[in-house]
Amino acid sequence: MTPQLARASLREIQRPVAVELEGVHDELRRLIAVDFPRIAEVNEHLLRMKGKLFRPTLLLLSHQAVGGGDGRVATLAAVVELIHLATLVHDDSVDHSVRRRGLPTINALFSHQVAVIMGDYLYSRAIIELVGLGDPEPLRILARVTNDMTVGEMRELEAHDKLAFDEADYDALILAKTASLLSGACEVGARGAAAPQRAALARFGLALGRAFQITDDLLDYTQSEAVTGKPSGLDLREHKVTLPLIAALGRMSAAERVVVARLMATADPSPALVAEVVALVDRAGGLAYAKARALEFAAQADAELDALPPSAARDALRDSIAYAVERRS
């Protein structure tokens, strides 16, 4: 079965768990409450930045799709978002990013030091909360996920200036960096279910995460700053090798590869050079290839959902696949 490709809005996807999501907002606020002024100040900024709660949504939908009934699910969903925020804060610091979701990053608004410490603060708060729940299973899943994410971050550091970075490297990177947390969110949500359903939702999250990240990397090539909130062609400008370029390199002429190599050798490549490489990547079929891969993973994710009984939550999980691959930002 191929995924439904009509664009789904996140609001529609969130409808079956709208009430629980309200609880997640409250839980997030409770989790990061602190009596140290500087941390409270950073937290306020983070809450403004927190985005669309996609990972909590997946956790809540997975939980509902296997029958629901766990009173701690809003807390778990908030913890997953907290872990996501912690990694964003460190990622932005590692990447020296200055904007995220249209707001200044923690490293830009406060300092690099504050960003490193705040990431540690948020992550250790998440662990405290998980320990307090008295169930080792979410802790086991999310500890592994956060460790995977650090390996993914390290892999990403190596994806710069390196035309030998191939699709297998890229796939290992996006599995660790992105897919692991989406999968972990689904698995935590489904942890009360029978093993086959739980495993199917974990695999659903992995496939969805790969589709999601490939789409993200595609948007960097195709979307304008006004839509995504970050400059387009940024990955190329920062010499970051992602799937469109990897796919295109194999089909480029020697002369075209020289242009790419020139970009990689230029410390601060001009917009014209970036635009030239974007055009080369497109012409060589790199964007089409990446899009096709995203759709393959979307189809895998879709197939996993057949293991679940029909429900509004399962429909929403299907819609989340379309959201992941058809979104514009």
Task: Name the site residues for a copy of itself (rule: CB under 8 A).
Answer: 34, 36, 38-39, 90, 93-94, 111-114, 116-121, 123-125, 127-128, 131-132, 134, 136, 139-140, 143-144, 146-147, 149-151, 153-155, 157-158
**Residue 137: CB minimum distance to a copy of itself, A:** 9
DSSP one-letter string for 248-276: HHTTS-HHHHHHHHHHHH-SS--HHHHHH
**Residue 25: CB minimum distance to a copy of itself, A:** 22
Of all helices (H) and strands (E), which one includes residue 99?
strand 99-100
φ, ψ of residue 6 in degrees (nearest 5): -60, 140
- Per the rule left: phi > 0, alpha: psi between -120 and 50, beta: everything else, 231 is beta
Closer residue to a copy of itself, CB minimum distance, 34 or 227: 34
Closer residue to a copy of itself, CB minimum distance, 118 or 277: 118
**Residue 166: CB minimum distance to a copy of itself, A:** 16
Closer residue to a copy of itself, CB minimum distance, 143 or 259: 143
**Residue 130: CB minimum distance to a copy of itself, A:** 8
**Residue 105: CB minimum distance to a copy of itself, A:** 14
Closer residue to a copy of itself, CB minimum distance, 139 or 182: 139
Closer residue to a copy of itself, CB minimum distance, 10 or 116: 116
Closer residue to a copy of itself, CB minimum distance, 112 or 291: 112
Long-range pairs for 319-322 at CB < 8 Å and ≥24 separation?
319/4, 319/8, 319/12, 319/13, 320/8, 320/13, 320/54, 320/57, 320/58, 320/61, 320/208, 321/3, 321/4, 321/208, 321/211, 322/3, 322/4, 322/5, 322/6, 322/7, 322/8, 322/298
Q: What token pair was written down for 151?
A: 């390996």
DSSP 161: S
**Residue 124: CB minimum distance to a copy of itself, A:** 4
